[in-house]
């Protein structure tokens, strides 16, 4: 048993000028963590030989596993492959299975002639083990230096994910027997981070040194995570389960889920269990609630559909919001949002409905209705409940928080808490 540390190095100027948000690192970190590899740091460097080499030198000196992503595309801004070849002292050769695979993709899928640039993607340093990439044209590569495994993966997310899952993890497991790392995660709603901390202060003070507690606030909810690492998997899980059960007793009132899952997944599960359905009537979120409810596999079991009533005319014509309501109390009102929920539920004949109408910014406010004022509503076959929010984020964050608060209100209605 060893405590195995890893570093993730992402390569590409686009990360350093902020043109692209790095989602690869999170996936890689999760995959490594699941087999007990501790990610010690993550680094992003530009398409610059000196910086890449410096980052690799440091990473290899300090870690047993190094994952590089990016820099393997077909175009000339990519310098990683020749650099790796020099770094590990190899010479470039054609990897025949990869060449056959690329040829197949161009002939049978793209149905376009292959050009020299694509051919070159089949070239690899002869000192690497090729990780055959079924999902794209750039092969993954594995190197070893001073007992450290170095993996180079394409930056295209679905290709990187496929290679991590199907090649990299196995290879790491063949080489190392890492400590077991385990987490227990729960999600709370309706209590702020500091108040939660006070509520569980005694629990936190009683934690053994080997177990860490983290607070992860987001969207007006707070996730709590316990983490431990040990060579004894059974003892670790027993200890974590005991502590986690204790933690849950402190937060019962606010508990959304004791699994590491998102709010919309919790709601989807509740609906599927009861074989019930939901529809949506969205104004200011413009379809984002529908997207959250339908983004996970299996959502067609409970999500029926929705009306995006962005323009007030659609609220009247499709959701029967009377024009006198729009003209008096307005579209951002208890009356409008309750009518929207009632109408979409009835018209789509679902068990539940959720509705929102608000002022997302950066303009549209009035004296009575400030920026960030949002009404959210939920209905079932018996009743309709609504709530007003006053948000103070930017437009994008306001949309996200509104959607999450609305889905949480739906959850409370489903479990009969409102």
**Three-state DSSP string of the chain:** CECCEEEEEEECHHHHCCCCCCCHHHHHHHHHHHCCCEEEEEEEECCCHHHHHHHHHHHHHHCCEEEEECCCCCCCCCCHHHHHHHHCCCCEEECHHHHHHHHHHHHHHHCCCCCHHHHHHHEEECCCEEECCCCCCCCEEEEEECCEEEEEECCCHHHHHHHHHHHHHHHHHHHCCECEEEEEEEEEECCCHHHHHHHCHHHHHCCCCCCEEEEEEECCEEEEEEEEEECCHHHHHHHHHHHHHHHHHHHHHHEEECCCCCHHHHHHHHHHHHCCCEEEEECCCCCHHHHHHHCCCCHHHCEEEEEECCCHHHHHHHHCCCHHHHHCCCCCCHHHHHHHHHHHHHHHCCCEEEEEEECCCCCCCCCCCCCCEEEEEEECCCCEEEEEEECCCCHHHHHHHHHHHHHHHHHHHHCCCC
> Contact region for its own copies (CB under 8 A) — 70-78, 167-175, 233-241, 377-385?
70-78
**Any contact of residue 286 with its own copies (CB under 8 A)?**
yes
> Contact region for its own copies (CB under 8 A) — 145-153, 154-162, 245-253, 381-389?
154-162
Which of 307, 336, 373, 409 binds its own copies (CB under 8 A)? It is: 307
**Any contact of residue 55 with its own copies (CB under 8 A)?**
yes
Which of 195, 206, 238, 274 binds its own copies (CB under 8 A)? It is: 195
Which of 104, 158, 242, 274 binds its own copies (CB under 8 A)? It is: 158
**Any contact of residue 227 with its own copies (CB under 8 A)?**
yes
Which of 3, 22, 103, 123 binds its own copies (CB under 8 A)? It is: 22
Q: How far is the CB of 316 from its own copies (least distance, A)?
A: 11
**Any contact of residue 208 with its own copies (CB under 8 A)?**
no
**Any contact of residue 234 with its own copies (CB under 8 A)?**
no
Q: How far is the CB of 197 from its own copies (least distance, A)?
A: 4
| Binding to its own copies, residues 90-119 (CB under 8 A) | 110, 112, 115, 117-118
**Any contact of residue 126 with its own copies (CB under 8 A)?**
no
| Binding to its own copies, residues 357-416 (CB under 8 A) | 361-363, 392-397, 399
**Any contact of residue 288 with its own copies (CB under 8 A)?**
yes
Our CB check for its own copies shows the closer of 35 and 127 to be 35
Our CB check for its own copies shows the closer of 106 and 127 to be 106
């Amino acid at each position: 048993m060893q405590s195995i540390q890893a570093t993730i190095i992402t390569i590409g100027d686009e990360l350093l000028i902020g043109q692209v948000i790095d989602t690869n690192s999170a996936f890689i970190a999760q995959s490594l963590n699941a087999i007990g590899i501790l990610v010690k740091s993550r680094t992003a460097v530009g398409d610059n030989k000196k910086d890449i080499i410096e980052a690799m030198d440091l990473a290899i000196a300090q870690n047993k596993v190094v994952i590089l992503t990016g820099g393997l595309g077909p175009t000339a801004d990519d310098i990683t492959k020749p650099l790796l070849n020099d770094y590990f002292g190899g010479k470039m050769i054609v990897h025949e299975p990869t060449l056959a695979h690329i040829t197949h993709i161009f002939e049978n899928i793209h149905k376009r002639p292959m050009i020299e640039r694509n051919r070159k993607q089949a070239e690899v340093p002869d000192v690497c083990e090729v990780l055959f990439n079924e999902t794209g044209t750039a092969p993954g590569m594995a190197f070893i230096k001073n007992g450290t495994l170095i993996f180079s993966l394409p930056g295209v997310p679905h290709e990187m994910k496929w290679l991590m899952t199907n090649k990299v993890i196995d290879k790491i497991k063949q080489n190392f027997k890492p400590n077991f790392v385990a987490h227990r995660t729960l999600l709370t709603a309706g209590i702020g981070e500091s108040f939660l901390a006070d509520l569980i202060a005694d629990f936190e003070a009683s934690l053994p040194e080997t177990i860490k507690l983290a607070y992860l606030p987001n969207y007006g909810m707070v996730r709590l995570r316990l983490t431990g690492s040990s060579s004894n998997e059974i003892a670790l899980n027993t200890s974590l389960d005991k502590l986690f059960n204790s933690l849950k007793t402190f937060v019962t009132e606010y508990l959304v889920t004791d699994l590491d899952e998102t709010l919309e997944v919790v709601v989807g599960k509740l609906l599927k269990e009861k074989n019930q359905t939901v529809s949506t009537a969205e104004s200011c979120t413009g379809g984002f609630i529908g997207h959250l409810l339908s983004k996970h596999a299996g959502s067609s079991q409970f999500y029926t559909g929705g009306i995006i009533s962005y323009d007030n005319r659609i609220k009247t014509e499709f959701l029967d919001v009377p024009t006198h309501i729009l003209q008096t109390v307005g579209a951002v009102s208890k009356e409008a949002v309750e009518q929207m929920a009632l109408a979409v539920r009835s018209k789509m004949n679902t068990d539940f409905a959720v509705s929102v109408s608000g002022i997302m910014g950066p303009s549209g406010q009035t004296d009575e209705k400030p920026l960030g004022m949002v009404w959210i509503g939920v209905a079932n076959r018996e009743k309709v409940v609504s709530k007003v929010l006053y948000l103070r984020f930017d437009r994008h964050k306001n949309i996200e928080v509104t959607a999450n608060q609305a889905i949480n209100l739906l959850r409370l209605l489903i479990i009969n808490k409102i």
